[in-house]
Amino acid sequence: VTALRHAIGHVADWMKREQRPVDWPLQPGRAFLSPQPLGVVGIVSPWNYPIFLMMSPLASALAAGNRVMLKPSELTPRTGELLRKLIAGEFAEDHVAVLLGGPKVGEAFTKLPFDHLLFTGSTAVGRHVMRAASENLTPVTLELGGKSPALIADDANLSSAAEDIVYGKLLNAGQTCIAPDYLLVSRSKVGALVQALKAAATKYYPDGGSSPDYTGIIDDRHFDRLQNYVREAIEAGVSMEKLFEGGSGRRMSPVVLIDPPNGLHVMQEEIFGPVLPIISVESMDAAVDYVNARPRPLVLYLFSKSRSVIDDVLRRTVSGGVCVNDTLVHVCVDGLPFGGVGASGMGSYHGKEGFETFSRNKPVFARRMPGLGRSLRPPYGKIHEWMRRILIG
């Protein structure tokens, strides 16, 4: 809703022509960029936030004047059907259409000759989507995931940082593409941080895994995957701490893993669940080096009170976005673009950048009377040579 309101409030400004300068040899004339819709946009949304991750890019695509086809995840069939009915009640089918179905429908969808395709999901599937789109030379925006780190500086308030991290990690049981994936903290502060995480988890979820505000893992496949991550770490001798006991069904106990080796699956793959590795480092420089030695994250979280530390980390790291002294909320700032870099995605949307993603700035040069350039046309002679020296040198 906020994305739609933001677009409605600003689209008149986004649509304005942008004047560009014209060098004097090309005068009289004017140059400008004129935004126009791309045409038909395809949007593939995931299961973890099926409304937000469909409606937010839809707002950008519609603001730019496009027609849109939407493919929600088959793992949320009831939500998909509800959105289809609601959208059908407001838009003609040739303006906005919702296509429901399983993986075969999704595969066929990404092969359509869209004018632009936006996909939100895993990096592995994103590769297949980009490959399918390339057959039609369809430009893509890929909103992927990856391993988003949280760097905790020595000057950070551990209690406050822990509350922000637990909120970001356990919302939707960690099934959030921008959830903190692992923590980097000084070796001497690991014990205190674990205790602060436990206190924050108990504060937010006083009944543990049975708390009504805590949820389960989407399906058995993902639940087994997460359990295997933890099992592999324990078998490798990694120290594990539960933040609280799990509940019934797939309500998994959130756990922290202290210094798991890099070769474990939990350190190689996006976790997407309530498993939180803590990596101890000797300094903030070591934390930055650790991040820079790995694929670019979708978001980098930083906890520090020091402006110099914050500016230094911002300067030395590359990520899709940064959130300082909080988690998750940056995605709600409609005035900021949202997107990844490298393995965490390409392109961005939200706000003005979303309008620009689904638009093309058509370059236009216009005259109202003949220009000086006509003096350079044939037949060539002395006047031409004189003008050439003046205009070209």
Given the residues 93, 135, 143, 269, select the one marked as catalytic.
Answer: 143
CA distances from 131 to 57, 85, 115, 306 (A): 21, 31, 15, 44
177 belongs to the catalytic site: yes
C-alpha span between 160 and 339 (Å, rounded): 27
C-alpha span between 219 and 185 (Å, rounded): 32
Half-sphere exposure of 200 (CA within 13 A, CB side): 21
Given the residues 163, 177, 270, 323, select the one marked as catalytic.
Answer: 177
C-alpha span between 321 and 148 (Å, rounded): 10
Q: What are phi and psi of 149, to 5 degrees?
A: -85, 155
Token couple for 179: 């959830």
Relative to beta strand 182-186, strand 149-152 is: parallel
Cβ atoms of 110 and 44 within 8 Å: the answer is: yes
245 belongs to the catalytic site: no
Q: What is the separation, in whole angstroms, between the first and last Cα of the chain?
A: 57
C-alpha span between 286 and 288 (Å, rounded): 5
**Helix 190-204 and helix 158-170, axial crossing angle in degrees, nearest 10:** 60
C-alpha span between 284 and 292 (Å, rounded): 12
Q: What is the CA radius of gyration of the chain?
A: 26
Active-site residue list = 143, 177
